[in-house]
Amino acid sequence: MPIHNAFTLEMGVATLVLIAAYVLIFSEIMHRTSAAIIGAVTMIGVGMAFGFYTQEAALTAIDANTLFLLAGMMMLITLLRPTGGFEYMAIRIAKLSHGDPRRLLVYLSLAVSVISMVLDNVTTVLIFAPLTVLIARLLNLNPLPYLMAEAMLSNIGGTATLVGDPPNIMIGSAAAIDFLQFFLHMGPIIGVIWVLVVGFLLIVFRDLLTPGEDRDAAVALDESRAIVDPSGLARLLAALAVVILLFFIHHHFHLYPSYVAFIGVALALALVRPAPEPLFGKLEWSVLVFFAGLFVLVGGVEASGLLALIGGALARAAENPADLLIAALVLMWVSAALSAIIDNIPFTVTMIPIVAGLEAHGVNITPLWWALAIGVGLGGNGTPIGATANVICIAESERARIPGARITTAIWLRRGLPATVVSLLAATVLFTVFFDYLQ
Amino acid sequence: MRLGKLAIPTASIRAGDTVRTVLEECARADVGGLPFVDDEGRILGRASMRHIMREQCIPYDAIRAAHLIDDHALLPMPDVQIAALLALPIDPLIIPAAPTVTAHTPVIKGLAIMEQQGTNYLFLVEDGRYSGIVTRMRIARRILEGNDEHL
Q: Indicate yes or no: CB of A220 within 8 angstroms of CB of B69.
A: yes
Q: Indicate yes or no: CB of A221 within 8 angstroms of CB of B73.
A: yes
Q: What is the pLDDT of residue A284?
A: 87
The verdict on residue A117 lying in a domain is: yes
Q: Indicate yes or no: CB of A226 within 8 angstroms of CB of B68.
A: yes
The verdict on residue B149 lying in a domain is: no
Tell me which chain B residues have a C-beta less than 8 angstroms from the C-beta of A81.
none
The verdict on residue B63 lying in a domain is: yes
Number of domain units in chain A = 1
Tell me which chain B residues have a C-beta less than 8 angstroms from the C-beta of A400.
59-61
Host domain of residue A219: 9-61+85-226+284-438
**Whether B59 contacts chain A with CB within 8 A:** yes
CB A122 within 8 A of CB A392: yes
| Amino acid at the residue A163 | V
CA distances from A394 to A122, A319, A388 (A): 13, 43, 10
Task: Please check the confidence at residue B77 and state whether its pLDDT lies above 60.
Answer: no
The verdict on residue B47 lying in a domain is: yes
The verdict on residue A103 lying in a domain is: yes
Residues A199-226 have pLDDT tens digits of 999 999 999 998 766 655 678 889 999 9
**Whether B70 contacts chain A with CB within 8 A:** yes
The verdict on residue A25 lying in a domain is: yes
**Whether A56 contacts chain B with CB within 8 A:** no
Number of domain units in chain B = 1
**Whether A396 contacts chain B with CB within 8 A:** yes
Tell me which chain B residues have a C-beta less than 8 angstroms from the C-beta of A213.
none
CB contacts under 8 A, A 151-190 vs B, are: none
The verdict on residue B150 lying in a domain is: no
The verdict on residue B82 lying in a domain is: yes
**Whether B76 contacts chain A with CB within 8 A:** yes
Q: Indicate yes or no: CB of A140 within 8 angstroms of CB of B67.
A: no
Residues A162-188 have pLDDT tens digits of 999 899 999 999 999 999 999 999 999
Q: What three-state secondary structure class fits B78?
A: coil
Which of B70, B74, B78 is opposite residue A221, by nearest beta carbon?
B70
**pTM score, two decimals?**
0.84
Of the candidates A187, A183, A193, A123, which has an alpha carbon nearest to the alpha carbon of residue A153?
A193
> What's the 3-state SS for chain A?
CCCCCCCCHHHHHHHHHHHHHHHHHHHCCCCHHHHHHHHHHHHHHHHHHHCCCCHHHHHHHCCHHHHHHHHHHHHHHHHHHHHCHHHHHHHHHHHHCCCCHHHHHHHHHHHHHHHHHHCCHHHHHHHHHHHHHHHHHHCCCCCHHHHHHHHHHHHHHHHCCCCCCHHHHHHHHHHCCCHHHHHHHHHHHHHHHHHHHHHHHHHHCHHHCCCCCCCCCCCCECHHHCCCCHHHHHHHHHHHHHHHHHHHHHHHHCCCHHHHHHHHHHHHHHHHCCCHHHHHCCCCHHHHHHHHHHHHHHHHHHHCCHHHHHHHHHHHHHCCHHHHHHHHHHHHHHHHHHHHHCCHHHHHHHHHHHHHHHHHHCCCCHHHHHHHHHHHHHHHHHCCCCCHHHHHHHHHHHHCCCCCCCCCHHHHHHHHHHHHHHHHHHHHHHHHHCHHHHC
Residue B89 β-bridge partners = B18
Host domain of residue B36: 3-144
What is the average pLDDT value for chain A, to the nearest integer?
Answer: 91
Determine the angle formed by the axes of helices A417-433 and A366-379, rounding to 10 degrees: 160
Q: What is the pLDDT of residue B148?
A: 63
The verdict on residue B33 lying in a domain is: yes
CA distances from A293 to A41, A44, A210 (A): 8, 11, 48
The side-by-side arrangement of strands in the sheet containing B121-126 is B100-101, B121-126, B129-135
Q: What is the pLDDT of residue A67?
A: 93
Which of A130, A131, A225 is opposite residue B67, by nearest beta carbon?
A225
- How many other β-carbons are positioned within 10 Å of the β-carbon of residue A44? 22
The CATH number assigned to the domain holding B106 equals 3.10.580.10
Could you tell me the pLDDT band of residue A408, with boundaries at 50, 70 and 90?
very high
Task: Please check the confidence at residue A310 and state whether its pLDDT lies above 90.
Answer: no
What is the distance in angstroms between the Cα of A92 and the nearest Cα belonging to chain B? Answer: 12
The verdict on residue A79 lying in a domain is: no
Tell me which chain B residues have a C-beta less than 8 angstroms from the C-beta of A225.
67-68
What is the distance in angstroms between the Cα of A134 and the nearest Cα belonging to chain B? Answer: 6
**Calpha distance A320→A315 (Å, rounded):** 9
**Whether A349 contacts chain B with CB within 8 A:** no
The verdict on residue A100 lying in a domain is: yes
Could you tell me the pLDDT band of residue A436, with boundaries at 50, 70 and 90?
confident
CA atoms within 13 A on the CB side of A363: 28
The verdict on residue A278 lying in a domain is: no
Of the candidates A303, A284, A286, which has an alpha carbon nearest to the alpha carbon of residue A18?
A303
What is the distance in angstroms between the Cα of A127 and the nearest Cα belonging to chain B? Answer: 9
Per-residue pLDDT averaged across A54-61, rounded?
96
